[in-house]
């Protein structure tokens, strides 16, 4: 198995974010081009309406008031009122439209990320805590949605406002305008200095957030073990350590992040003071009172968008650390995929061959299967037995193509599995994993997951065959009983019966049962075995079992050890050989006798 990242271990990025990748984000805005153009139009109109205010004030101070032109003054007042109403309407439309676009972008990105997760192999999920995957789908994209929609449009709005303001400023007094821009180079240098440190700090923070989410997810999943061993205090102490690491990383990051805004504010204040100093010196000679008042208003209009752009830049640098993680997951390539010339597997009979198959989970690790070969004829039941970690589950995982073989070949009806589509293969197989998973929802829906178009009658029939119908009908709501996530509201044995019914409903030609009866009591197992005997007729079946009493009728028993088939044959023949199978069976028999 590949080395697994843990909840207290920082993840290392495979590739770092490229600024050119922001063009990739633009692809998510393409479907909303016309909506964005409408928003930009409203921004343009609203900004012109707002920026018109200081100019109207200049005209009022320099012309209407000194000349006592009340008609002009009333006209200016009316125009100012209309401009405020227009600006308010445009602002209201922008907020509503951007919120909707932002939510759509969130759905689009999250859907793409989730779709890719559905294609990734077991090895990807085996190598990292699930909480670290979850935080990318939920938290990181939530952070980005506002940036991609509201932040981006606000940036455009601020740029438009900045350009329009500069036009008005140059029209009023070009010399004062140039004076007001003299400190801009210092602002750019300060932004560059902060950006480099901010990105490093937020990358470290994203690691700590990921670790925290992973530990919380792991702790909730394992709460019964924690309480069962009275280790609540240890769990809290570990949580304190993880959450304190997160806090420290956050404080370091925001300390750098908030360094940009005071720099912008200080430069803005110094610019305003400079214009006061220059303007007052030239008042009445080059600069009129109305011009100075209007210009000071425009200075404020100029620096507000600059400050907003600085804040957006801050958010952009912060979001980059999250984009790195999101794109890394989106770009994760499935290792188990359809070949370029893959074809749909025809309806199968169930003849299975392993031809010198070798496989390792970790490319640098030892072989988990070494040159394994066997033949399962149509309708045969093949039992896989052996010690834990011998390679039994690996065989059925390869048969289902959850992993690719490193060498050798697996065929069904003489068709190489590497040449067929995954969907056409897996829809003709029924797999019951060792770790039984029950989804939140009704019992009826959980069984129907095996075949979504099945009728209620077919679901009930499968439950009866799996011997699950009896306990289901004792529940208050029967088949409509709601079960909790992972099926914690029912017993482990009942969960296995439901999972078994789900597999039976799929009516597969090849049936795979990995420890299918591990959590079922002896009485229920006997009932289930009767249904199994009927079901296995005419189907090729693979049964992984530690309880050897359940596989005595198998057509072929393969004894697996250290990745090799060390013995093969029927139960009676293997007992007579007095080899490894005999030792396994004898040790189990003696344990049962001792109980």
* Least confidently predicted of 30-39, 98-107, 403-412: 98-107
pLDDT class of 528 with cuts at 50, 70, 90: low
Alpha helices in 223-288 (DSSP H): 223-228, 232-257, 260-281
Q: Tell me the CATH number at 202.
A: 1.20.1560.10
* Pair 26, 82 in one domain: yes
Closest by alpha carbon to 305, among 435, 426, 154, 197? 154
For residues 194-202, average pLDDT? 75
Q: Is the pLDDT higher at 68 or at 145?
A: 68
As a whole-number percent, the residues of the chain with pLDDT over 90 amount to: 14
pLDDT class of 218 with cuts at 50, 70, 90: confident
DSSP 303: H
Q: Flag whether pLDDT at 521 surpasses 70.
A: no
Decide: 249 and 208 in contact? Cβ < 8 Å: yes
Q: Does a structural domain hold residue 253? A: yes
* Pair 397, 450 in one domain: no
Q: What is the pLDDT of residue 568?
A: 93
Q: What is the chain's length?
A: 595
Q: What is the pTM of this model?
A: 0.66
DSSP 31: G
* Pair 189, 306 in one domain: yes
* Least confidently predicted of 250-254, 286-290, 447-451, 457-461: 286-290
pLDDT tens, residue by residue, 393-447: 899 989 989 889 999 999 999 999 999 999 899 888 888 776 677 887 889 988 9
pLDDT class of 532 with cuts at 50, 70, 90: low
* Pair 274, 414 in one domain: no
* Pair 307, 364 in one domain: no
User: Mean pLDDT in the chain?
Assistant: 80
Residue 456 sits in which domain range? 435-507
* Pair 196, 304 in one domain: yes
Decide: 526 and 352 in contact? Cβ < 8 Å: no
Cα–Cα dist 170/15, whole Å: 46
Q: Tokens 């300060």 map to which residue? A: 190
Q: Tell me the CATH number at 459.
A: 3.40.50.300
* Pair 125, 229 in one domain: yes
Q: What is the pLDDT of residue 356?
A: 94
* Pair 484, 401 in one domain: no
Instruction: Give the end of a domain, one of 299, 330, 361.
Output: 330
Instruction: Give the end of a domain, one of 472, 507, 542.
Output: 507
* Pair 117, 163 in one domain: yes
* Pair 296, 388 in one domain: no
* Residues 6+ positions from 50 with CB-CB distance below 8 Å: 83, 87, 161, 301
Q: Is the pLDDT higher at 536 or at 77?
A: 77
* Least confidently predicted of 20-24, 241-245, 274-278, 507-511: 20-24
Find residue 410's DSSP bridge partners: 354
Instruction: Give the end of a domain, one of 452, 482, 507.
Output: 507
Cα–Cα dist 542/510, whole Å: 8
As a whole-number percent, the residues of the chain with pLDDT over 70 amount to: 85
Decide: 220 and 135 in contact? Cβ < 8 Å: no
Tokens standing for residue 197: 């440190």
Q: Flag whether pLDDT at 1 surpasses 50.
A: no
pLDDT tens, residue by residue, 329-359: 888 888 888 888 999 999 999 999 999 999 9
SS3 523: helix
Cα–Cα dist 396/399, whole Å: 5
Q: Is the pLDDT higher at 538 or at 397?
A: 397
How many domains are there within the chain? 3
For residues 4-9, average pLDDT? 58
Q: Does a structural domain hold residue 12? A: no
CA angle 477, 483, 484 (to 5 degrees): 150
């Amino acid at each position: 198995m590949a080395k697994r990242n843990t909840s207290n271990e920082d993840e290392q990025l495979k590739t770092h974010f490229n600024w050119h990748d922001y063009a990739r984000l633009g692809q998510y805005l393409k479907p909303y081009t016309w909506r964005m153009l409408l928003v930009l139009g409203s921004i343009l109109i609203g900004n012109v309406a707002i920026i018109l205010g200081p100019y109207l004030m200049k005209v009022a101070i320099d012309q209407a008031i000194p000349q006592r032109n009340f008609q002009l003054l009333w006209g200016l007042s009316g125009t100012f009122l209309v401009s405020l109403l227009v600006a308010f309407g445009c602002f209201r439309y922008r907020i509503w439209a951007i919120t909707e676009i932002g939510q759509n972008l969130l759905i689009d990105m999250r859907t793409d990320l989730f779709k890719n997760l559905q294609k990734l192999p077991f090895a990807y999920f085996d190598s990292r805590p699930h909480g670290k995957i979850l935080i990318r789908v939920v938290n990181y994209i939530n952070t980005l949605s506002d940036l991609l929609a509201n932040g981006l449009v606000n940036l455009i709005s601020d740029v438009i406002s900045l350009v329009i303001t500069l036009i008005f400023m140059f029209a009023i007094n070009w010399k004062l305008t140039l004076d007001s821009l003299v400190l801009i180079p210092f602002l750019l240098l300060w932004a560059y200095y902060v950006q480099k440190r901010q990105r490093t700090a937020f990358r470290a923070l994203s690691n700590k957030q990921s670790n925290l989410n992973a530990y919380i997810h792991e702790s909730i999943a394992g709460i019964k073990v924690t309480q069962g061993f009275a280790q609540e205090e240890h769990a809290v102490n570990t949580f304190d350590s993880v959450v304190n690491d997160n806090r420290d990383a956050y404080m370091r990051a925001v300390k750098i992040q908030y360094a940009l805004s005071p720099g912008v504010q200080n430069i803005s204040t110094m610019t305003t003071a400079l214009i006061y100093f220059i303007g007052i010196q030239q008042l009445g000679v080059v600069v009129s009172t109305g011009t100075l008042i209007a210009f000071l208003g425009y200075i404020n209009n100029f620096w507000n968008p600059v400050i907003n752009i600085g804040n957006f830049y801050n958010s952009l640098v912060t979001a980059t650390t999250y984009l790195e993680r999101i794109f890394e997951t989106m770009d994760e390539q499935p290792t188990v995929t359809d070949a370029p010339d893959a074809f749909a597997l025809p309806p199968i009979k169930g003849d299975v061959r392993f031809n010198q198959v070798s496989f390792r989970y970790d490319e640098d690790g030892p072989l988990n299967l070494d040159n394994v070969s066997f033949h399962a004829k149509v309708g045969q039941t093949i039992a896989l037995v052996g010690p834990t970690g011998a390679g039994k589950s690996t065989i059925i995982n390869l048969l289902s193509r959850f992993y690719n073989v490193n060498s050798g070949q697996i065929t069904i009806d003489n068709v190489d599995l590497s040449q067929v589509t995954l969907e056409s293969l897996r829809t003709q197989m029924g797999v019951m994993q060792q770790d039984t998973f029950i989804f939140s929802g009704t019992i009826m829906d959980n069984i129907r997951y095996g075949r979504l178009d099945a009728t209620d009658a077919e679901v009930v029939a499968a439950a009866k065959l799996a011997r699950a119908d009896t306990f289901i009908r004792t529940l208050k709501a029967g088949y409509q009983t709601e079960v909790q996530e992972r099926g914690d509201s029912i017993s482990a044995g009942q969960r296995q019966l439901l999972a078994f019914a789900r597999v039976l409903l799929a009516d597969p030609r090849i049936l795979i049962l990995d420890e299918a009866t591990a959590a079922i009591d002896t009485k229920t197992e006997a009932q289930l075995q009767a249904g199994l005997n009927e079901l296995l007729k005419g189907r090729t079946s693979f049964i992984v079992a530690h309880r050897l009493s359940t596989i005595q009728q198998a057509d072929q028993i393969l004894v697996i050890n250290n990745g090799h088939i060390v013995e093969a044959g029927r139960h009676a023949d293997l007992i007579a050989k007095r080899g490894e199978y005999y030792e396994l069976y004898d040790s189990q028999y003696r344990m049962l006798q001792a109980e």
